Amino acid sequence: MITNRSLRGAAGLLALLATVGGAAACNSIDGLLEVDNPAQLDEGLLNNPALVQVMLNGTIGDFQAMYSDPFVWRGSMFTDEQVTGINWEQTARLNLRVVQYDEGDTDLMFSQISRARAQADTLIGRLEGGLSENPANDKSLATAYAYSGYSYLVMADAMCEATVNVGSKIYQPVELYQLAADRFLAGLPIAGAAGETKLTNLMNVGLSRAYLNLGQNAQAMAAANLVPSGFYWWVEYNENDTRSYNVLEARITGGNHALGVHPTFLAGGSANFGTKGLTAQLTDPRVQHEPSWATGHNALTRLYKPKSGLMFSNYNGQTFATGGKPATYERGTDIAMASYIEAMHNYYEAAGASGTGPLGTTLEFVNARRAVGNQAPVALAGDALMDELRFQRGKDLFMGGFRLGDLRRWLRQGDDLFPSGAHVNELWGDYGTATCFPLPKEEYEGNPNISR
Question: H or E stretch including 361?
Answer: strand 360-361
Per-residue pLDDT of the chain (452 residues; tens, 9 = 90+): 344 444 444 444 444 343 333 333 333 334 333 444 454 445 666 678 888 999 999 999 999 999 999 999 999 999 999 999 998 888 899 999 999 999 999 999 999 999 999 999 999 999 999 999 999 999 999 999 999 999 999 999 999 999 999 999 999 999 999 999 999 999 999 999 999 999 999 999 999 999 999 999 999 999 999 999 999 999 999 999 877 999 999 999 998 999 999 999 999 999 999 999 999 999 999 999 999 999 999 999 999 999 999 999 999 999 999 999 999 999 999 999 999 999 999 999 999 999 999 999 999 999 999 999 999 999 999 999 999 999 999 999 999 999 999 999 999 999 999 999 999 999 999 999 999 999 999 999 999 999 87
Percent of the chain that is helix, strand, coil (3-state, to 5): 50, 5, 40
Closest residue by Cα to residue 314 from 294, 295, 330: 330
Q: What pLDDT is recorded for position 16?
A: 39
Closest residue by Cα to residue 245 from 69, 77, 106: 69
Q: What pLDDT is recorded for position 188?
A: 98
CB 148 within 8 A of CB 190: no
Contacts of residue 87, defined as CB under 8 A and 6 or more positions apart, other chains included, come to 297, 298, 299
Closest residue by Cα to residue 274 from 296, 247, 294, 299: 294
Q: What pLDDT is recorded for position 440?
A: 96
User: What Å distances lie between residue 422 and 14, 79, 419, 428, 432, CA to CA?
Assistant: 46, 14, 9, 8, 10
Helix, coil or strand: residue 446: helix
Cα–Cα distance for residue pair 207/220, rounded to 1 Å = 7
Cα–Cα distance for residue pair 2/198, rounded to 1 Å = 17
Cα–Cα distance for residue pair 312/334, rounded to 1 Å = 6
**Angle of helix 104-126 versus helix 52-66 axis, rounded to 10:** 160
Cα–Cα distance for residue pair 190/215, rounded to 1 Å = 26
Q: Is the dihedral of CA 299, 304, 307, 312 positive or negative?
A: negative
User: What Å distances lie between residue 238 and 8, 74, 331, 367, CA to CA?
Assistant: 11, 20, 6, 36
- Angle 174-175-177 from CA coordinates, rounded to 5°: 65
pTM: 0.91
All structural domains of the chain: 4-195 (1.25.40), 217-236+338-418 (no CATH), 245-333 (no CATH)
Helix, coil or strand: residue 239: coil
Cα–Cα distance for residue pair 204/223, rounded to 1 Å = 5
Q: What pLDDT is recorded for position 417?
A: 97
Beta strands in 141-265 (DSSP E): 232-235, 259-261
Q: What pLDDT is recorded for position 44?
A: 63
Question: Backbone phi, then psi, for 31, in 5-degree steps?
Answer: -105, 40
Q: Annotate 297-320 with b (16+ C-beta within 10 A) or e (fewer).
A: bbeebbbbbbbbbbbbbebeeebb
* Amino acid letter, residue 74: R
